[in-house]
Chains A and B, each alone.
Chain A
Amino acid sequence: MNTIVRAEQAPATRSARIAATMANKNTPLIKNCWYVLGWGDEFTREMKSRTVLGIDLVFFRSVNGRPLALQNRCPHRSMPLSKGTLEGDDVRCGYHGLLFDCAGTCLEVPSQKTPPPATARIDAFKCVETGPMVWVWMGDPADADERKIPDTSWLSDPDWAHARGYIHLEASYVGLHENLLDLSHFSYLHPGNVGTPEYAAAPFECKIDGDIVEISRFVDNCPVPGIFTKPTGMAPEDRISRLSASRYVSPGMYTAISELVNLAPKEDAQVKFTSHISHYMTPETNDSTHYYFTFARNFAIADKSVTRYIETQAKIAFGQDIDALLAIKDITEIESNRFFEEINLQSDQAGVAMRRILKRLADEEARS
C-alpha cells in the first residue's frame, strides 16, 4: 500500500501524486455500503457493542427475533447504552435512565415530567440478516437498499457446508483489500497451506469493469495445496488443475472461488471440488478492521471434522496475512518521518484499480 505523505514534507513527486489518486489508510471510510456487523447468533436478548466506521453501535435481537442496531452513545452524557438494560425492544441508559425505542426516539427522561426534547435521540441503523450473518447499513437510512446486499446464497444451500471465523485486525482495511487482489503472495506468505510454487508464476487475468475488479488464475498442473488435502481426500503429491478467481464486490466484501480438478482420479472418486471463500471486512476505525470469513464447499459436506480442519487452516493462512499487514504497519510507523515511495508492479493491477474505486467512492461521499 502506498505510503502516506505528510503535509509538511509533501514534495509533488510522481509517486506522491499517484498515491493521491488512490485510497490509503487515511481515506475517509465509506458509509454507503452494507457491512457485516456480526454473526446472527451474536444477536440475542443481551445487548452487545461493536465499533463500525468509528461509530460505536449497540446491537441485540428484538422480542420477535429481528436484529437491531442503534447508536451506543447516549446523547446526554455519552454513556454506552450497552451497559444499560433492555425493556422489550427499548433501551434504557444505565446512567440517568433515558429510554430509547428501536427507531432511536427518546421515550422518557426520568428526571423530568415534560416530554423528552426532540434533540434527545439516537441514530438507528438498518440491519438485515442473511444466512449466518447480519449486515448493517452505515449511510443515510433512506438509501439503504436490501437488494444491494452481496449474494451469499450458497451459505444457505443444503448442498454446501461452510466453516467461518473472525479475526480482529489492528490495521487499515485497505491493506487487507489489497492483499486479496494480489494472490501472487500465496506461494511466499502461505507456502504449504494455500500456496504452491507454481502459483506465483502462473499468468493471471484481471478484469476491471466499473465498480467490480476480478482476478483469475488457472494453473494447469500442480500439487494439492495443503488446505485442501484432507477435505478432498487427495494426497499432497496428487496432481490437480486449479482455477482461482477473486472478486472485489464492495468496500465491505470479497468473494473468491476455488475449483480443483483431480487430474488422475480413481474410479468413482469425485473429480471436481469447488469452494466459495468470502471475506467480509468491516472497518472498525481507519486503523483497525473486523475481518469475518466464510469458507464454503460442495464436498465432504457432512463431515464436521473437515469443517474444523478448514477453519483451522484458514485461520493460519489469514493469520499470515494479518502478521504481514501488522509488520508493514509497524515499519510504516517507525519510519513515519521518512519520505518513502512504494512501487507498483504488474501484479498490482487489480489492487490499484480497487484503491481507485475506494478513493472515488470516498470522494463522492465527501461531496454529497
Chain B
Amino acid sequence: MLTATFINIDGLVTQVEIEKGKTLMEGARDAGISAIVAECGGSCACATCHVLVDEAWLSKLDAIKELESEMLACTAVEAGERSRLSCQLIMTDALDGIVLHLPETQV
C-alpha cells in the first residue's frame, strides 16, 4: 500500500495509506485529516486542499495546469513555490512516501 505523510503546522505527523489512483486530497479526507477541508470535493473550485510539498518531492509531481494555478492564487494562506492543491495530485508508485506540510488554515 502506498503512503503519504502529512505534517500539520504544530508538527503533528500523520501517515496515511492512499490507494494508487486516488488523489492525495481524497486520501487525507478519508483518513480524517481536518487540516484538509476539501470543500468542493475535487472540482478545483475551493482552494481548501492546499498543501506545501516537501522539497525532495516537488519535481516528482505533474506540472501545474491552468485551473489549479488559478485556484492556487486564491488560497487562504498565500501560495508559495512549494504549494499545490492536493485534489490535483494523484497517488502513484513514484509518490510513495511523499511528505506534505499543511498550511495554518484552509479558509
Interface residues of A (CB under 8 A from B): 13-14, 17-18, 21, 343-346, 348-349, 352-353
Contact = CB atoms under 8 A, between A and B. Distances in A.
Interface of B: 39-43, 45-48, 70-71, 73-76, 107
B42 A18 contact: no
Contact of A352 (B45, B74, B75, B107): B45
A138 to B, nearest CB: 29
A-side binding surface: helix, strand, loop or mixed? helix
Contacts of B75: 14
B39 A344 contact: yes
Contacts of B46: 14, 18, 343-344
Contact of A14 (B42, B43, B76): B76
A346 B75 CA distance: 18
Contacts of A18: 45-47, 71, 74
A345 B41 contact: yes
Contacts, number: 44
21 contacts: A13-B76, A14-B47, A14-B48, A14-B74, A14-B107, A18-B71, A18-B74, A343-B40, A344-B39, A344-B46, A346-B40, A346-B41, A346-B42, A348-B40, A348-B43, A348-B45, A349-B40, A349-B42, A349-B43, A352-B45, A353-B43
B63 to A, nearest CB: 19
Contacts of A348: 40, 43, 45
Contacts of A344: 39-40, 43, 45-46
Q: Which of A13, A14, A346 has the most CB of B within 10 A?
A: A14
A343 B73 contact: no
B71 to A, nearest CB: 7
Contact of A21 (B41, B42, B70, B76): B70
Nearest to B105: A14
Given A13-B76, A14-B75, 15 more contacts: A14-B48, A17-B73, A18-B47, A18-B71, A344-B39, A344-B45, A345-B39, A345-B41, A348-B43, A349-B40, A349-B42, A349-B43, A349-B45, A352-B40, A353-B43
A17 B74 contact: yes
A353 B70 CA distance: 13
Contacts of A353: 43
Nearest to A206: B43
Contacts of B39: 343-345
A62 B65 CA distance: 52
Nearest to B76: A14
A345 B48 CA distance: 12
Contacts of B76: 13-14
A349 B45 CA distance: 8
A346 B43 contact: yes
B37 to A, nearest CB: 10
B36 to A, nearest CB: 14
A352 B43 contact: yes
